[in-house]
Amino acid sequence: MQLEVVVRSLTVSGTATLLAASWSVPLAYFLVKSRSSRVLIPLLEGLVGVPTVLIGLLLYMLLSSKGPLGPLRLLYTPQAIAVGQSILITPLITSVSYRVLTHSWGRYGELALSLGADEVEAMRLVLSESLPGLLGAVIMGFSRALGELGIALMVGGNIKGYTRVMTTAIALEVSKGEFELATWLGIFLVGIIALISLSLRFLGVKDDRTP
């Protein structure tokens, strides 16, 4: 049963991370070239610490039977958790990616343009040189998604065999007084996050969280 919970946690949070990265990295690149970054980046950095229960509450209101998205019947599903987690980590991935891409653009992008490269070629060069740092941003987002509780509990419902993930399982075991099992689940959760980071380093991917 616990293996099922672990696999579901990795699947849901992995899906959320892929979703968030698919729009966060392009948004970060756009902001590097835009003056609106002076307003949007501080805003996104401020949203990094938004309470997960707040996002969970807003999603619950949208997805409930009386909400505007109620007909989609996504409430208390793994998909709802993934959507909520992707929203949660979007500011984090975008703001870290922005710092990485800003550094690479100043170092490589402007040089490429001055040497006759077009915008597409310069973008490819910047993204290639920024890859380690961008992967680091994605890792941070995945870790944040994997360890969150509020969204998973409020829009997932902690349904056994369906929406129960590691964090909600830990909360459940604590409420039952099963502190030993909750502790082991917590250790395993931290271990997964550490293993991912160490594996990427072993493969030669530098986790450049800052440029």
| 56 confidence band (pLDDT: 50, 70, 90) | very high
Tell me the pLDDT tens digit for each residue of 5-37.
999 999 999 999 999 999 999 999 999 989 888
**What's the mean pLDDT in 184-204?**
77
**What's the mean pLDDT in 82-92?**
97
The domain made up of 2-202 has a fold known as MetI-like fold (1.10.3720)
* CA–CA separation, 157 and 144 (whole Å): 19
* CA–CA separation, 15 and 7 (whole Å): 12
**What's the mean pLDDT in 74-86?**
97
pLDDT at residue 209, rounded to an integer? 39
pLDDT of 210 strictly over 80: no
Mean pLDDT of the chain: 89
Q: Domains of the chain: which residue ranges? A: 2-202
pLDDT at residue 23, rounded to an integer? 97
* CA–CA separation, 39 and 142 (whole Å): 26
The secondary structure of 27-66 as a DSSP string is: HHHHHHT-TTHHHHHHHHHHHTT--HHHHHHHHHHHHSTT
**What's the mean pLDDT in 89-116?**
91
Helices (H), 33-165: 37-47, 52-63, 78-104, 110-114, 119-146, 150-156
pLDDT of 204 strictly over 50: no
